[in-house]
Chain A
Amino acid sequence: MTEKRNKTKSSLRDNKKLPLQTTSNSGAKASHVPMHDLVGEKLRAYYDQMANEPVPDRFELLLKQLEAKNKEEKSA
């Protein structure tokens, strides 16, 4: 419970700005222990299916629009 409260509090605070760069442990794989049990298997199957779903076009379109806007602003 306390843990949950703390988390909510910290995400409240953090959300006011963009996350700071995650630097300290990025890339550290030391304690990456893949879950070899059935739960881990099911979870990965579930997740991989979602990640392999076709992504709606709107996101690629959005990036293109943002890029176009960016170029426009630069040339203005």
Chain B
Amino acid sequence: MTISDKFREDLLAAIPGLRAFGISLTSRTDRADDLLQETLMKAWKHHDSFQPGTNMKAWLYTILRNEFYSQIRKRSREVEDAEGAFAGKVEVPPEQHGHLDMADFRSALALLPEDQREAIVLVGASGFSYEEAADICKVAVGTIKSRVNRARNRLSEVLQLDESHNAKLLHQTHAPARRLYPPVD
């Protein structure tokens, strides 16, 4: 079975989005890159299980997501919640001085349970419909919707994006985020 140039090109084109999804899930670039590597290798190996013309992006995100949960399980067997990031227990609230940068957003996202985090990222940022996100996460559409809502409420609370802060924040969010990735310990 030959692998078409189109398959390779589509794979290549999907990399930046997949990587962003991986970083959103793990909060860490190095882990996201491991996930991405595994995803590409699996997609390549199992290319014939992909039907050309169907949604390749959803297929790839599903592979990455499965890999993410598989690594969590592996990790939790090895170390009992050593890092906490995966369990959503990172109690590092974003700084509350009104300046919202990307690191703040990432910390806030890391506070969410994984199921809510993946739901809001798939629907709110990766460009999937509720139906596609439900397919990827293998749950009902209604479940995705409620997870997105809960995630949205929690983020809005943590980042103080509720109504009373909106006006203030709208004027303060134009400062460019200096660094996207804080140093990883």
Binding site for B on A (CB under 8 A): 3-4, 6-8, 10-12, 14-15, 18-19, 21-35, 37-40, 42-53, 55-56, 58-60, 62-63, 66-67, 70, 74
| Interface membership of chain B positions 12-42, coded 1 if the CB is closer than 8 angstroms to chain A and 0 otherwise | 1001110110011000000001001100111
Min CB distance B167 to A, Å, is: 11
Of A12, A33, A51, which contacts B20 at CB under 8 A? Answer: A51
From the candidates B8, B63, B161, name the one contacting A38 in the complex (CB within 8 A). B161
B interface size (C-beta, 8 A): 70
Q: Count contacts between A and B, CB distance < 8 Å.
A: 171
Residues of chain B touching chain A, judged by Cβ–Cβ distance below 8 Å, are 2-3, 8, 11-12, 15-17, 19-20, 23-24, 33, 36-37, 40-42, 44, 46, 49-51, 54-55, 58-59, 62-63, 66, 69-70, 73, 100, 102, 105-106, 109, 113, 115, 120-121, 123-126, 128-132, 134-139, 141, 143, 152, 155-156, 159, 161, 166, 169-170, 173, 177, 180
Considering the complex of A and B, which 3 residue pairs feature the smallest CB-CB distances, nearest first?
A: A25-B131, A47-B125, A26-B55
